[in-house]
Structure 1
Amino acid sequence: MLEELKNQNKLIIGTKQALKAIKEGRAQTLFIAKDAEKHVTRNIEDAAREVQLQIVYVESMKKLGKACGIEVSAATAVILK
């Protein structure tokens, strides 16, 4: 599942933009790094559960960032519909 991220042109990286996409109904799958701080991911995780969005947990922020094709860590990412 994580391999899908690199080839996505409909990808949002970052909690604020991902949360907005979820609230607007544009999100298909949410990826959350397991080592991200809970106060950062709590709201987006709750929003995803409310709309029954698929949530994929990734081992680390570093791995999520790399899977997204960026050089820095990422707490969350969303694939858009």
Structure 2
Amino acid sequence: MLKAAGSRKVVGTKQVLRALKAGTVAKVYVCSDADTFIYQQVVRSAEEAGVPCVRAASMKELGMICGVEVPTAAAGLLR
């Protein structure tokens, strides 16, 4: 998943939304336990950009997979 991508990823809601707007994301991961507003915002932005959106299990797990020490609601693989 994200580990294989190495450094070609963005981590965090703001970074993912910014990258979606710039058109540099190939796939988005968003956590089902994220705040409802954040979850909907990321999913909607991914749909508008035509980027596949994968539901991740938990913010804690996604943070660990991304190599950050804090839970994260969203992450994206860069093109």
TM-score, structure 2 as length reference:
0.90
**Count of aligned residue pairs for this structure pair:** 78
Which consecutive unaligned segments of at least 5 residues does structure 1 have? none
The alpha carbon displacement at 1:69 in A equals 1.2
Spell out, residue by residue over 1:42-76, the C-alpha distance to the aligned partner (whole angstroms, 9 max, x if none).
Answer: 22210101122111111110111111111211100
- Residues of 1 paired with 2:25 and 2:62: CA distance? 17
CA contact (8 A) 1:5 1:67 kept: yes
Which consecutive unaligned segments of at least 5 residues does structure 2 have? none
Aligned counterpart, 1:5? 2
Q: Per the alignment, in what secondary structure is the counterpart of residue 20 of structure 1?
A: helix
**Percent of matched pairs sharing the same residue:** 35
Task: Describe how 1:31-42 pairs up with structure 2 within 5 A.
Answer: 31-42=29-40
Task: Describe how 1:1-80 pairs up with structure 2 within 5 A.
Answer: 4-8=1-5, 9-80=7-78
- Residues of 2 paired with 1:10 and 1:44: CA distance? 19
- Residues of 2 paired with 1:72 and 1:17: CA distance? 15
TM-score, structure 1 as length reference:
0.88
4+ residue segments displaced more than 4 Å:
none
